[in-house]
Chains A and B, each alone.
Chain A
Amino acid sequence: DTAVSQTPKYLVTQMGNDKSIKCEQNLGHDTMYWYKQDSKKFLKIMFSYNNKELIINETVPNRFSPKSPDKAHLNLHINSLELGDSAVYFCASSQSSANPLHFGNGTRLTVT
């Protein structure tokens, strides 16, 4: 069973469109995250949720809106996509902060 699964694996879309990425974890963890990995492989935290509540919101444009319907799911919705949004987006979970993160296999978003 996949511990952290995110869909879709690939997403190709045009500028201006709205898209969503879904993430689910079956580890029973309380904390979930979204990270963005750019073309230089740099991993940057975007959001963190603990038990459905937003606890970390880095300087991310308002076009990005995370939603956590329950503690096993954290989805990412992106409005008005821009070329610079092209990256690999990783979902992750952990029991709490300062504990190991378990990552999904990423969603490669390409904005044309």
Chain B
Amino acid sequence: GENVEQHPSTLSVQEGDSAVIKCTYSDSASNYFPWYKQELGKGPQLIIDIRSNVGEKKDQRIAVTLNKTAKHFSLHITETQPEDSAVYFCAAIKSGYALNFGKGTSLLVTP
């Protein structure tokens, strides 16, 4: 099955700095790559996603890049704010299967 590796497991940045989280996947047939944010006591919420026919996608302060050849994708958060502090998960899937998640990155943004 699909194996998703995520790094780093913890990340601490100062408010206003950028944060980057990286993931790799094993199955070249994977075609959908979402990113989720999980706040304490809540379920994961989708923040951005990208499909395999696109190399980059941006939504305000959040961007995702995908390198299909290298089988890795990254989340970029610019101008971080304290409310960005949460656990972030990458995931990968191919059609007909279920999402496989990375092990999560705990992001702390300090004022």
Q: Using a CB–CB distance below 8 Å, which chain A residues touch chain B?
A: 4, 33, 40-45, 48, 56, 90, 92, 97-106
Contacts and interface: CB of A to CB of B under 8 A. Distances in A.
Nearest to B1: A58
A103 B97 contact: no
B41 interface: yes
Given A43-B44, A97-B93, A48 B98 contact: yes
Contacts of B42: 105-106
A106 B87 CA distance: 15
Interface string B83-102: 00001010001111111110
Pick the most buried of B32, B87, B98: most chain A CB atoms within 10 A of its CB.
B98
15 contacts: A40-B103, A41-B38, A41-B87, A42-B104, A43-B44, A45-B100, A90-B43, A92-B43, A97-B97, A98-B32, A100-B49, A101-B99, A103-B44, A105-B42, A106-B43
Assign chain B's interface to a size class.
20 to 34
Given A43-B89, A101-B46, A105-B42, 16 more contacts: A33-B98, A42-B101, A43-B44, A43-B101, A43-B104, A44-B101, A48-B98, A97-B96, A97-B98, A98-B32, A98-B95, A98-B96, A103-B45, A104-B43, A105-B43, A106-B41
Pick the most buried of A40, A98, A101: most chain B CB atoms within 10 A of its CB.
A98
Contacts of A106: 41-43
Interface of B: 31-32, 34, 36, 38, 41-46, 49, 87, 89, 93-101, 103-104, 106
A105 B41 contact: yes
Nearest to B51: A98
Nearest to A91: B43
A45 B42 CA distance: 17
A24 B10 CA distance: 33
